Amino acid sequence: MANSIKKAWYKEMAVYQVWPRSFCDGNGDGIGDLKGILSKLDYIKSLGVDAIWFSPLYVSPQKDYGYDIADYRNIAPEYGTMEDFKAVLDGAHKRGLRVIMDLVVNHTSDQHPWFLESKKGKDNPYSDYYIWRKGRMNNKLPPNDWRSTFAGPGWQYVPERDEYYLHLFATEQPDLNMDNPKVRAEVKDIMKFWLDMGVDGFREDVITFISKREGLPDGFPLPVAAGVEHYIDGPHLHEYLMEFKDVWGKYDCVTIGEAPMMTPKRALKHISEGDEQELNMMFHFQHMEADCMFVSWIKMPFNLKKLKTVYTNWQKQLYGKAWNALYIENHDQPRVVNRYGSLKYRKESAKMLAVMYICQSGTPFIYQGQEIGMTNIGLKDINQYEDVSTKNIYHMARSFGVKDETVMKLAAYASRDNARTPVQWSDEKNAGFTSADKPWFPINPNYTEINVKEAQEDPDSILNFYRKLLKFRKENEIVIYGDYTEYYHERDDLYCYGRTYEGKRMLVICSFSEKNITFTAPPAYDLSFGKCMICNYDDPTAVAGGCVLRPYETRVYLFE
């Protein structure tokens, strides 16, 4: 099998994700921007990544922080100008970094000119750009029982049309009607616009939601996202994605589709290599459910076996057929150290988690701040939060009678805002993020200890560990292309897997325990013949048959 795996640049790359608003403020207004990004390109390059994915930079009323786009071809003024963007694109390319844009086409902002026209009436040329329906019960109730992913109804009534429009996310994010060929033509034009400018690909926002089942039937009654079974993998998804590929397939670029509720079996329908492949890879969510049910708000105890089962499924089922996108953080997920690691062993566990996912087969994505082990801020008051889904969930829970204290405790663990605090660059005022008096969002008070400057200077920092790990991956094809075998699945304190490629073998060992634990090497791996390439402790001594692993210890052995 190993020999049949196809090589490609997008498989070998590692990607750094920038959420612009909180990355770096270059003009002193308290908001991250393109000038700030430009000033940090050398830093990004120094991590050893090959590309940057920018969360949306476009003009937007920022109801969902950029995922509500009002103009697909312009830059949000608070982030800069098109000239600033071109300078970043050029600066990235000069450093050998590719640029991946966020393509958000399941919905627009309700301030997008298409929607402003569409809502005027049925004889408008943009009338069918969105999903409009008459309601039930003489138009008194929405057309069906679908509910928004962000809590609340999935439909909004508009008096001008005397109809409802569908919004799977915030009320201000109307869903586009992808069944309309004119809408698909617009999407293709947008893709062409950015690709012609020189960008290197797209991360496609909830792209698997774009085709809704005909007739929009009622869904399973859930408080959040009811109806989801009718659009997670809709009837025309393949057709529409193939149409988009007519555009991007002509460029040397990469496409990564965001795919909530995706399983390996269904993913293979979409991303198996060959003529019918719709996207290069997909972001699934299953591995982010090891401490919750579907979303971090439905919190459960961390379950390592659940995590390992998911990883093993994806690694095994996609190997040689399709490609994995690997991540443990992004702008929608609370910080991983709080979830799968340990605050007591923050450095050790952050490094271990890095090894756990980066040493698998796939393209790794690293979210801003993850490389220094940033943690949840855990704000105490709902008025301090900015995220629309956090606020909606808060109000929904309160309306069910849940106490403020209880919801706030959960938000401190589960809110997306935990990942959206400004990047901690130094221990200076406002963590070096902005020269303004007040940043747009609170800075985690732990910036005096956790910051890039400190991490740069400490050879043992999480940051320098990431650099070493990414270099190791780049220099050893086995990390990228090797096959995968899991060991000791039943253990709930240890994750261990092996990789093989072209006669070489690699063993990855990750302790998930705060105590010392015993590790016995799997029969085929005599540790005295292997070379310990990566470890998060100083002296990785071992005998042939195994070793004692210290809290959250990780080791990677290479057998050549």
Q: Which residues bind ligand NOJ (CB under 6 A)?
A: 64, 67, 104, 169, 205-206, 258, 331-332
Sequence-separated (6 or more) residues with CB below 8 Å from residue 550? 348, 511, 516, 537
Active site residues: 205, 258
Closest CB to ligand NOJ among 254 and 470? 254
The answer to whether 433 touches 420, Cβ cutoff 8 Å, is no
- Tell me the CA distances in angstroms from 496 to 69, 183, 203, one per residue in order: 43, 47, 30
Give the length of the chain: 560
Q: In degrees rounded to 5, what are phi and psi of residue 379?
A: -60, 150
Nearest distance in Å: CB 279, ligand NOJ: 15
DSSP lists the bridge partners of residue 325 as 363
DSSP characters over 259-309: -TT--HHHHHHHH-SSTT---SEEE--GGGGTTEESEEEEE----HHHHHH
* Least distance between ligand NOJ and beta carbon 558 (Å): 36
Q: Which residues on neighbouring strands pair with residue 517, listed in sequence order?
A: 549
The radius of gyration computed from the CA coordinates of the chain, to the nearest angstrom, equals: 23
Shortest Å distance, C-beta 26 to ligand NOJ: 23
- Shortest Å, Cβ 332 to ligand NOJ: 5
Going by the DSSP 8-state scheme, the letter that residue 550 receives in this structure is P
Rounded-to-integer distance, Cα 243 and Cα 288, Å: 31
Q: How far is the CB of 105 from ligand NOJ (least distance, A)?
A: 10
Of 54 and 484, the one with the shorter C-beta distance to ligand NOJ is 54
259 vs 549, which CB is nearer to ligand NOJ?
259
Distances (CA, A) of 486 to 119, 311, 313, 314, 499: 54, 9, 10, 12, 9
Which residue, judged by CB position, is nearest to ligand NOJ in the bound state? 67
The structure tokens listed for 163 are 């109809």
CB 544, min distance to ligand NOJ, A = 47
Instruction: Give the side-chain half-sphere CA count within 13 A for 284.
Output: 24
Nearest to ligand NOJ of 281, 542 (CB atom): 281
Q: State the CB neighbour count (10 A cutoff) for residue 220.
A: 11
Contacts with 181 (C-beta within 8 Å, 6 or more apart), sequence order:
none
Task: Tell how strand 201-204 and strand 292-293 pair up.
Answer: unpaired
Which amino acid, residue 525?
Y
Q: How far is the CB of 434 from ligand NOJ (least distance, A)?
A: 22
| Helix, strand, coil % in the chain, rounded to nearest 5 | 35, 20, 45
C-alpha separations of 73 from 85, 91, 116, 158 in Å: 11, 20, 17, 27
